[in-house]
Amino acid sequence: MDIIKIYDNSDKLYYIGGVVRDKLLGVESFDIDITCIGNAIEYCAKFGKVIQENPEFGTIRVEVDGRAVDFASTRSEVYEKKGHLPVVTKIGCTLKEDVMRRDFTINALAMNVSTGEIVDYTGGLKDLKNKKLRVLHDGSFVDDPTRIIRGLKFRVRFGFELEEHTRHLQEDYLKNINYDMSYKRVKKELIETFNLNSQHAFEIFVNEGIYKLVSPAEFKLPEVNIENLIKKYPVKNIWPVYVGLLPDLSRLEFTKEERKIIEDFRSIGSVKTDFEIYKAFDGLAAESILLYGIAKNMNAAVRYLDVLCGIKISLSGNDLLKLGIEPSPKYQEIFDYILREKLKNPALTHDDEIQLAKEYFTVN
Ligand code: CTP
């Protein structure tokens, strides 16, 4: 097949999961997963340079044709602790058993690497055609609630819908969430979902109560269209501009940068004048300012991002020293005074600022 060049006629190797789905949908795949009936570590090292092996899961990553390919031994799993990583019960099981541990039928298709034949044990082809997301069994979301967010991601990414019974299972789970789950996996799915920058995703997330997986208290959809806002004011980290709005984020583990975005947003008080807006937002990440705009005061956020952030005073401590002013808390007072003046009149030159500083110091 033309996904990647692997010469093998053993019938042991099958493209599996997202790569088959994407191939049939005609979209590009992020990664290539191949399942090997039997032991992938023993069988697949010959296909290229071995990048990494994980004997516990029976997986091996090999560079084939310039791309990293993940070969996994067929395996069956059980969710001994619901909501957490499953435990491998058998390595080298049948292809059918391997397929049955997966999330949605569209992700449970296999494609023979040498013949291209599709193996469909769960009705994935029909669901792919009808754009439906269907779980493989009733306990799927209980086993792994991150699948609810994965479902949202695939709905938005491919324009699919939840099949009716699956929708009921989601509703049931969201009425009775077990908060003892792996939030590391939840976070990964939130990132992948909200980095798509989709207002539609956020509306589903809020309207269907999926947000309750993270933050249990009632949350109302903000009036602002966040997708358009981010298109107008691009940010480095998109997903916190959505997820950061939730009131209870204590379950998620943030990087330092992400935590700062959220803490800064939460600590901004009410602002009215240009000077207050400037002082509150200066030096903050655009993400924090957008969050503040969405949750509290959009006029202030837009005023800063459109106009005020481009205004800087050029007066420095050195200039004040040259004026014979000794370093003291007075410096900050003078800088603030100059800033107020500059916000009123951005055309002030460096010389104007020095002149104003002199006058201010003489009077005060
Ligand atoms: N899978 C699952 N339950 C999860 C995560 C993954 O059953 N919580 C299964 C799915 O069959 C999925 C496969 O593992 O297709 C690989 O997972 P992953 O690479 O995360 O997803 P992809 O489907 O490849 O999606 P993406 O295109 O977003 O990478």
Indicate which CATH number applies to the domain containing 140: 1.10.110.30
207 C-alpha to ligand 1 centroid (Å)? 25
- Tell me, what's the pLDDT at 56? 87
- Does some domain include residue 233? no
Cα pseudo-dihedral 243, 132, 28, 44, rounded to 10: 100
Atom of ligand 1 nearest to the CA of 29: 27
Residues with CB under 6 A from ligand 1: 17-18, 30-31, 33, 102-103, 107, 144, 146-147, 150, 192
CA angle 54, 58, 59 (to 5 degrees): 60
State whether 299 and 345 are in the same domain: no
- Tell me, what's the pLDDT at 312? 96
This prediction's pTM: 0.94
Q: How far apart are the first and last CA of the chain?
A: 81
Contact (Cβ atoms closer than 8 angstroms) between residue 248 and residue 215: yes
State whether 79 and 112 are in the same domain: yes
Task: Give the integer Cα–Cα distance in Å for 200 and 140.
Answer: 24
Supply the range of the domain harboring residue 277: 258-310
Write out the chain's pLDDT in tens, 364 residues: 468 889 899 999 999 999 999 999 999 998 999 999 999 999 999 999 999 999 988 999 999 989 999 999 999 999 999 999 999 999 999 999 999 999 999 999 999 999 999 999 999 999 999 999 999 999 999 999 999 999 999 999 999 999 999 999 999 999 999 999 999 999 999 999 999 999 999 999 999 999 999 999 999 999 999 999 999 999 999 999 999 999 999 999 999 999 999 999 999 999 999 999 999 999 999 999 999 999 999 999 999 999 999 999 999 999 999 999 999 999 999 999 999 999 999 999 999 999 999 999 888 8
- Tell me, what's the pLDDT at 213? 98
Dig out the tokens for 138 from the structure. Answer: 């009733």
State whether 135 and 175 are in the same domain: yes
State whether 121 and 145 are in the same domain: no
- Does some domain include residue 103? yes
- Considering only CA atoms, which of 167, 361, 344 is closest in space to residue 273? 344
- Tell me, what's the pLDDT at 363? 87
Which residue among 32, 77, 103, 109 has the greatest number of ligand 1 atoms within 8 angstroms of its CB, and so is best to mutate?
103
State whether 174 and 79 are in the same domain: no
